């Protein structure tokens, strides 16, 4: 049996009360009794499922939906109102649910204890200080409490033709005083158990500042809980129309969208919340965790992209986004994000974390490799072979023609290349680095000493000088020809006079 049909039966049953006995035939009264009995059974089933959702599954969103459906069918179920307090975190919401329970039974001990705990400023609910009074005394007086029409008029008053004031606007001293006065009166109304009066005061605040965080959150949530859903949406829409940047407005709208079982709207609002310049890091972390829990990494990465636009140098956002990019296959983008996080000006644990992640992608030397003399000699041998090849070319591709000058150049190339390699790529060779007074660097992930900058500069200059001298020694003949080339007119001096080729050349 659908919920719509059940609600229809309840409404039909409510019309069939004792005052209408004369107007309805006995058959209709009988049908009304059946409708009430069936709806009560459905309400109890929904109530039990809601309790199970809390106790066994800790699914508070589902439990809240089930309990609210149960209360639509059986609004005088005190236990349902009390269990509903376990599905929300906002104390004002909890207090509103307890007050609904006390309106049904002002002497309910569990409800009174919970009220005192939530509202510790008073020893007991003022409206039920006399246990002999009926629960109807908790209802606000018609004179002091606006009804739904009154709420609508007050909400409409927050829509002004001129640019509305938001949290970005600077209120005058008089307006600040008015806001504090209305908030204080709202607190007094809550203490007196008069929630409608409190809502009226919060709406007065919103007529001054359309997105006041405390007023809009409390007004929207309490209007929603009392069944004024359109009015709750209206005050939030007023703030959106005013281009509010208050995260509280979006967080409240998200809560109402979830209560209305509208996940698409909640997702849209969460993405808009991530783009606000005033959204703090804790909220961004929550949004990312939420989307990952729902297995929606695309939205999680979009949240971090929006947050990075507002804070481009935030290392936490860069690293977190890089982790997600890496996890879902975008390795190049992950490396780029880690590099940005590692290139920030300040040293921090986050920067080191980014560097560690980069090490997983970019090959790096271990301490054993940094201290190896053999690795340095491998580079020296490579450079020396180049000089040997130059000498081989200089003597006409015949090693037998190499003179001592060429061999001296090869020796200088070995020494010069070792000094240059040590100064540039291998400054942590042991025991050389320790002998020359090297120290362990604090800003690098290593535990071995490194040559000082001054020592490395001197070794580099000396190494380059020796390499230049070695080049002159091994390539001497070629350099002489480059400086003083042989002219064609002097060729006859090169050849013997009795050489036929020389004669022909002459």
Q: Which of 384, 382, 402 is nearest to 477 (CA)?
A: 402
Number of neighbouring beta carbons within 10 Å of residue 226: 17
Q: Single out the residue of 92, 94, 105, 39 nearest to residue 69, CA to CA.
A: 39
Selection from 410, 406, 367, 365 nearest residue 387 by Cα:
410
Question: pLDDT tens digits, the chain, 506 residues: what are they?
Answer: 333 333 333 343 434 443 333 333 444 443 344 445 445 557 788 888 888 888 777 788 888 888 888 888 888 888 888 888 888 877 778 888 888 888 888 888 888 888 887 775 333 444 443 433 333 333 333 334 444 445 555 555 455 444 578 888 888 888 888 899 899 988 888 888 888 888 888 988 998 889 999 999 999 998 888 778 888 888 999 889 888 889 999 999 999 998 888 889 999 999 999 888 888 888 888 888 888 888 888 888 888 888 888 777 777 888 888 888 878 878 778 877 777 777 765 557 777 777 777 777 666 566 677 788 888 899 999 999 999 999 888 888 888 888 999 899 999 999 999 999 999 888 888 888 888 888 877 666 567 788 888 999 999 999 999 999 999 999 888 888 788 776 555 545 554 444 555 455 44
Coil, helix or strand at residue 439: strand
Tokens (6 digits) for 333 = 């983008």
Token pair of 87 as six digits? 């599905």
CA distances from 375 to 327, 378, 379, 381 (A): 35, 5, 7, 10
Length of the chain: 506
Closest to 157 (Cα-Cα) out of 220, 226, 204: 204
What domains can you pick out in the chain, each with its CATH number?
3-123 (1.25.40.10), 148-361 (1.25.40.10), 367-474 (no CATH)
Find out whether 298 and 306 touch, Cβ atoms under 8 Å: no
**DSSP notation for 81-98:** HHHHGGG---HHHHHHHH
d(CA 118, CA 191): 10
Asked if 126 contacts 193 with a C-beta cutoff of 8 angstroms, the reply is yes
The predicted pLDDT at position 155 comes to 56
User: CA–CA distance from 152 to each of 87, 194, 232, 286 (Å)?
Assistant: 28, 18, 10, 34
Find the angle CA(171)-CA(187)-CA(280) to the nearest 5 degrees: 55
Strands (DSSP E) found in 423-480: none
- Are 236 and 186 in contact by the 8 Å Cβ rule? The answer is no
pLDDT at 420: 93
287: Cβ contacts below 8 Å, ≥ 6 apart: 270, 273, 274, 300, 303
Q: Is the peptide bond before 431 cis (omega within 30 degrees of 0)?
A: yes
**CA max distance for the chain:** 154
Look-up of token digits 């009560």: 40
Confirm if 6 and 46 have CB atoms less than 8 A apart.
no
Give the dihedral sign, CA 268/269/275/280: negative
Cβ-based neighbour number of residue 69 at 10 Å: 20
CA distances from 178 to 185, 188, 195, 202 (A): 11, 15, 20, 11
The C-alpha angle with vertex 436 and arms to 431 and 437, in degrees rounded to 5, equals 100
Q: How many CB atoms lie within 10 A of CB 161?
A: 5
Task: Report pLDDT for 105.
Answer: 87
Distance CA 57, CA 62 (A): 10
Please give the distance of CA 389 from its chain centroid, rounded to a whole number: 59
Helices (H), 343-403: 349-361, 367-370, 373-394
Strands (DSSP E) found in 225-309: none
């Amino acid at each position: 049996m659908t919920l719509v049909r059940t609600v229809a039966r309840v409404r039909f049953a409510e019309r069939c009360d004792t005052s209408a006995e004369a107007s309805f035939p006995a058959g209709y009264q009988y049908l009304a009794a059946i409708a009430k009995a069936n709806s009560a059974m459905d309400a109890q089933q929904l109530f039990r499922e809601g309790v199970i959702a809390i106790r066994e599954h800790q699914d508070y969103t589902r439990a809240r939906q089930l309990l609210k459906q149960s209360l639509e069918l059986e609004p005088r179920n005190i236990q349902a109102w009390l269990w509903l307090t376990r599905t929300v975190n906002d104390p004002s919401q909890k207090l509103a649910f307890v007050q609904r329970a006390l309106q049904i039974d002002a002497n309910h001990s569990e409800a009174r204890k919970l009220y005192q705990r939530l509202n510790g400023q008073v020893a007991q609910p003022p409206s039920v200080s006399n246990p002999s009074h009926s629960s109807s005394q908790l209802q606000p007086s018609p004179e002091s409490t606006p009804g739904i029409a009154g709420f609508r008029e007050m909400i409409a008053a927050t829509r002004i033709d001129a640019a509305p004031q938001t949290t970005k606007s600077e209120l005058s001293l008089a307006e600040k005083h008015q806001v504090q006065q209305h908030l204080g009166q709202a607190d007094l109304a809550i203490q007196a158990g008069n929630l409608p009066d409190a809502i009226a005061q919060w709406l007065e605040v919103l007529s001054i500042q359309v997105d006041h965080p405390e007023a809009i959150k409390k007004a929207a949530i309490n209007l929603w809980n009392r069944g004024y859903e359109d009015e709750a949406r209206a005050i939030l829409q007023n703030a959106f129309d005013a281009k509010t940047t208050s995260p509280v407005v979006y967080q409240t709208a998200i809560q109402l969208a979830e209560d209305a079982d509208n996940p698409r709207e909640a997702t849209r609002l969460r993405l808009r919340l991530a783009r606000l310049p005033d959204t703090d890091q804790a909220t961004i972390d929550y949004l990312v965790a939420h989307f990952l829990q729902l297995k929606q990494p695309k939205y999680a990465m979009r949240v971090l992209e929006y947050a990075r636009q507002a804070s481009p140098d935030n290392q936490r956002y860069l690293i977190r986004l890089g982790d997600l990019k890496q996890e879902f296959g975008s390795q190049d983008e992950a490396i780029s994000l880690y590099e940005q996080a590692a290139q920030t000006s300040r040293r921090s644990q986050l920067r080191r974390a980014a560097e560690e992640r980069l090490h997983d992608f970019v090959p790096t030397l271990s301490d054993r490799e940094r201290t190896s003399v053999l690795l340095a000699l491998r580079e020296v041998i490579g450079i020396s072979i180049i000089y040997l090849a130059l000498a081989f070319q200089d003597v006409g591709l015949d090693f037998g023609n190499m003179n001592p000058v060429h061999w001296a150049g090869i020796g200088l190339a070995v020494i010069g290349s070792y000094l240059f390699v040590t100064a540039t790529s291998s400054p942590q060779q042991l025991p050389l680095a320790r002998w020359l007074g090297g120290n362990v660097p604090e800003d690098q992930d290593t535990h071995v000493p490194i040559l000082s900058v001054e020592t490395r500069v001197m070794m580099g200059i000396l190494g380059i000088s020796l390499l230049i001298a070695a080049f002159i020694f091994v390539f001497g003949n070629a350099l002489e020809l480059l400086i003083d080339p042989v002219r064609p007119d002097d060729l006859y001096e090169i050849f013997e006079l009795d050489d036929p080729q020389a004669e022909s050349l002459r």
